[in-house]
Amino acid sequence: MLKVGLTGGIGAGKSEVSRLLDACGAVIVDADKIAREVVEPGTPGLAAVVAEFGEEILAPDGTLDRPKLGSVVFADTERLAALNAIVHPLVGERSAQLEREAGGTDGAAGGTAGGADDGAGGGAVIVHDVPLLTENGLAPLFDLVLVVDASPQTRLDRLVRSRGMAEEEVRARMAAQASRAERLAVADIVIDNDGPLEELEPRVRQVWESLRERAQRPGTH
């Protein structure tokens, strides 16, 4: 089993790389998806968030109002740290469970659509999609760290143009994350995504072949 940490700054294209790796046959453990699951209505996670931030961060249907919460935490590093202290342990626990199920000796399902024959067990490539890997010092937890990189201007343009985000909001979110240099410092493999989408897929496939080859080596963990 090869345990890979995948990260990248907002707008760098990490989600697209994750999707492409999933199509290749990697087992994807998506921290963002899990972070949403652990604060769904009725969960201890949501109860803890409400206790910390108040019921005003709830939508009328009782779900977490993410834009409202985001407007609070991304403008205040202390409040962001408080949120992370609640959510990150829950995400870590669930991620570890999914990893055990994917790479365990019990034959648990590990592949996804388009998965390769070695998608589970000893030859599995398990990719943890972790936006804040660098910020939270998680690099040592992985056999390899894969960073999706793009220039700050490219990321800004994408988010303003494609997601319709305000430039001020984008800059605030970028400032709340690790710097480009900090991410590159923990990278074992860097995927350059400054160009058009059609240039990304062959890069990812090349990286996938390298990851799969390494996962199949005897004694790899």
- DSSP per-residue string spanning 119-172: SSGGG-EEEEE-TTTTTTT-GGGSSEEEEEE--HHHHHHHHHHHS---HHHHHH
**Residues linked to residue 4 through DSSP beta bridges, in sequence order:** 127, 144
- With a CB cutoff of 8 Å and minimum separation 6, the contacts of 54 are none
How many alpha carbons lie under 13 Å from residue 39 in its C-beta half-sphere? 25
Domain count, the chain: 1
pLDDT at 194: 93
> In this prediction, what percent of the chain has a pLDDT beyond 90?
73
- Computed over every residue of the chain, the mean pLDDT equals 88
193 DSSP 8-state letter:
-
The single residue listed with the structure tokens 């963002």 is: 32
pLDDT at 113: 34
What is the tens place of the pLDDT at every residue in 141-180?
Answer: 999 999 999 999 999 999 999 889 999 999 999 998 999 9
Work out the pLDDT band at 103, boundaries 50, 70, 90. Answer: low
Domain-embedded: residue 117: yes
199 DSSP 8-state letter:
G
The mean pLDDT value for 82-86 works out to 94
Domain-embedded: residue 13: yes
- With a CB cutoff of 8 Å and minimum separation 6, the contacts of 19 are none
Domain-embedded: residue 51: yes
Domain-embedded: residue 144: yes
Q: Which domain holds residue 133?
A: 2-215
Domain-embedded: residue 221: no
Please answer whether residues 172 and 72 qualify as being in contact, where contact means their C-beta atoms are separated by less than 8 angstroms.
no
∠ CA 71-76-77 to the nearest 5 degrees? 125
Work out the pLDDT band at 1, boundaries 50, 70, 90. Answer: confident
pLDDT at 104: 61
The single residue listed with the structure tokens 């058009």 is: 196
Please answer whether residues 12 and 148 qualify as being in contact, where contact means their C-beta atoms are separated by less than 8 angstroms.
yes
Domain-embedded: residue 173: yes
| β strands within the chain, DSSP E | 2-7, 27-30, 125-129, 144-149, 189-192
CA-based nearest residue to 87, from 54, 45, 57, 53: 45
pTM (two decimals): 0.76
- With a CB cutoff of 8 Å and minimum separation 6, the contacts of 87 are 35, 38, 39, 45, 49
What is the tens place of the pLDDT at every residue in 176-197?
Answer: 899 999 999 999 999 999 988 8
Which 3 state secondary structure label does DSSP give 214?
helix
Domain-embedded: residue 16: yes
> In this prediction, what percent of the chain has a pLDDT beyond 70?
89
Given the DSSP bridges, would you call strands 144-149 and 125-129 parallel, antiparallel or unpaired? unpaired
* CATH code for the domain in which residue 154 is found: 3.40.50.300
Please give the span between the terminal C-alpha atoms of the chain, in angstroms, as a whole number: 5
Domain-embedded: residue 74: yes
